Amino acid sequence: MRKKETITSLKAAKGERKLVMLTAYDALFASLFRESADMLLVGDSLNMSFLGEPDTLSATLDQMIYHTRAVCNGAPESFVVCDMPFGTTNTPGQALENAVKVFQQTRADAIKIEGGQERSALIEHLTDNAIAVMGHVGLMPQSVRSEGGYKVQGRDEKSFQKTLDDAVAVEEAGAFALVVEGVVPDLAAKITETVSIPVIGIGAGRQTDGQVLVWSDMLGLFEAFTPKFVKKYMNGAEAIKEAVAQYAQEVRNGAFPGEEHCYK
């Protein structure tokens, strides 16, 4: 069994070993991922791939708490991060109240908050109150409606500098690690060399301190669309459809259950 990561071991990993983060939404899959991943993220992406909503904005705190409890149950020795959903961290007071709920109702080790400079006072308030915070800058899915789409950051000088400043502000506010999503690789590299906390990339190139992927994407289960940055490590959708089709066929033709599946 692998040793549980801590804030200290994760911070110490910077420059020493690449960090592996994977999303997880339930106990069953978390128990399958725990051996290989350093951190499990209960991402609000579950609202899309699990609930079938078109974006993450309608995810609720109760929903995140429910799934985080499941992940903690399935992988008790994993470092688990709970994503704070849209609208639950608008003010320092609201953010602390909701983060405390997450810590009291689950065994999550940390929360994740999307946002940069505009969130730094709020992140500081949380870290001052014993809440471990992972930041998230660059492309922020919770801003999809206000931004008018999912926009890769860092292609122009203004967004390059803004995202870099966001990353620095989040570190200064006390975050222990940072997700950088949907940015050009040069920007991710610049952030990684500038901040002293581990930078976990998604759609951010190769020069970060670690990577995160959404589990249903990397297992080839989510068929609606495949972002450029996703590598499918298996064709899960095909494998599952084939297995279910075989089960259906065997029920219909009487091949299942066989003798070996019947009680004596």
Q: Which residues bind ligand KIV (CB under 6 A)?
A: 23, 41, 43-45, 83, 179, 181, 202, 212, 214
**Between 23 and 106, whose beta carbon lies closer to ligand KIV?**
23
> What span, in angstroms and rounded, lies between the C-alpha atoms of 246 and 244?
5
**Between 43 and 210, whose beta carbon lies closer to ligand KIV?**
43
Q: How many other C-beta atoms lie within 10 A of the C-beta of residue 221? A: 18
Least gap, CB of 44 to ligand KIV (angstroms): 5
DSSP annotation of 179: E
Least gap, CB of 23 to ligand KIV (angstroms): 5
Which residue's CB atom is positioned nearest to ligand KIV? 43
**Between 111 and 246, whose beta carbon lies closer to ligand KIV?**
111
Computed on alpha carbons and rounded to an integer, the radius of gyration of the chain in Å comes to 20
3-state secondary structure of 114: strand
Query: Omega into 92 within 30° of 0, i.e. cis?
Result: no
Q: Determine contact, residues 214/200, Cβ cutoff 8 Å.
A: no
Least gap, CB of 202 to ligand KIV (angstroms): 5
181 is catalytic: yes
Q: Given the residues 118, 124, 181, 259, select the one marked as catalytic.
A: 181
Copy the structure tokens of residue 87. 């609208």
**Between 96 and 214, whose beta carbon lies closer to ligand KIV?**
214
Helix 92-105 × helix 120-128 angle, to 10°:
40
Least gap, CB of 70 to ligand KIV (angstroms): 15
Residues involved in catalysis: 181
